[in-house]
Amino acid sequence: MHSDVRSPLMLRLAAFGGLLFLHLPILLIFVYAFTTEERSYQWPPPGLTLRWFAATWNRPDVWAALGLSLRVAAIATGVALVLGTLAAAAVSRTRFFGRESISLLVILPIALPGIVTGIALRTAFGEAGIPFSIWTIVIGHATFCVVTVYNNAVARFRRTSSSLIEASMDLGADGFATFWHVVLPHIATALLAGGMLAFALSFDEVIVTTFTAGQQQTLPIWMLEELIRPRERPVTNVVAMVVVLVTFFPILVAYYLTRGAEDIGGSGK
């Protein structure tokens, strides 16, 4: 009886401790973005100021890195939406030899260590004589962004009743009309959620970018360089806070979009 009363409290304390362990370092970054100390981290901070936000705003290197990160994330997400949706449709709606193997190969890049993917891509680009550019970064990011879209899309495809597609075709709609008016409305939230997750993953990716960017600097690469050779350390904390916020909101929206998607589309109709 005593253990039954104590167990929920211990579980709550354990959950709170786990959340604190995960998020306390992030909260410290937010605090140090306002510190008056420029070169070192003191706790508690000697004072609080907003001047580092103005300093960050006036740094052209920050804007250049931010612009590159946004362009790469947007293009990689677009590529992932097209390829991930097509792969999900093929795997979930058709039967062919090696289907499960192809599904495994699509998912494999996100399971591999990033350094393995980065080395493989850098070697491939070198052998093919492809110069490093924004497109080499996009290719690197698309390798794992496709997986997030694929996982969301294939799960929604499998929860969508095939009778809807059959009814549309029986009524005279061609393949494109059926996809546009029947399939797409059912998978739209899954694609939006997968695209937002892909954008967030691409925006803050470091390891693969290190091997595929050459001399270019995305925002995470800029932050890494600033930590090694800091000029205004609190500026790095301000940028880190922006990265956290930019990646947090797409993930939050993706969570709410997919939270209530357990029902099978078209079931009972």
Read off the CATH number of the domain in which 112 is found.
Answer: 1.10.3720.10
Task: Give the CA angle between residues 213, 218, 222 to the nearest 5°.
Answer: 110
pLDDT of residue 31: 78
Residue 264 lies in a domain: no
Average pLDDT over residues 183-201: 81
DSSP 149-202: HHHHHHHHHHHB-HHHHHHHHHTT--HHHHIIIIIHHHHHHHHHHHHHHHHHHH
- What pTM was computed for the model? 0.76
Report how many domains make up the chain: 1
> Is 240 buried (19+), middle (13-18) or exposed (0-12) by CB count in 10 A?
buried
223: containing domain: 60-258
User: Is the predicted pLDDT of residue 161 greater than 70, yes or no?
Assistant: no
User: Is the predicted pLDDT of residue 145 greater than 60, yes or no?
Assistant: yes
93 contacts: CB under 8 Å, gap ≥ 6 = 157, 162
Angstrom distance (rounded) from CA 97 to CA 103: 12
pLDDT of residue 246: 76
Residue 162 lies in a domain: yes
Average pLDDT over residues 83-103: 77
Residue 150 lies in a domain: yes
Task: Give the CA angle between residues 113, 250, 88 to the nearest 5°.
Answer: 60
Q: Which of 235, 226, 240, 233 is nearest to 27 (CA)?
A: 240
3-state SS track over 17-35: HHHHHHHHHHHHHHHHCCE
Residue 188 lies in a domain: yes
Angstrom distance (rounded) from CA 22 to CA 8: 21
Residue 229 lies in a domain: yes
What 3-state class would DSSP assign to 160? Answer: strand
Residue 109 lies in a domain: yes
Token output for 258: 């997919």
**8 A C-beta contact, residue 92 and residue 99:** no
Q: How many CB atoms lie within 10 A of CB 213?
A: 20
Mean per-residue pLDDT over the chain, rounded: 78
Angstrom distance (rounded) from CA 233 to CA 239: 10
**8 A C-beta contact, residue 111 and residue 147:** no
User: Is the predicted pLDDT of residue 75 greater than 90, yes or no?
Assistant: yes
pLDDT of residue 222: 85
Angstrom distance (rounded) from CA 157 to CA 182: 12
Residue 2 lies in a domain: no
198 contacts: CB under 8 Å, gap ≥ 6 = 76, 77, 80, 81, 84, 145, 146, 148, 149
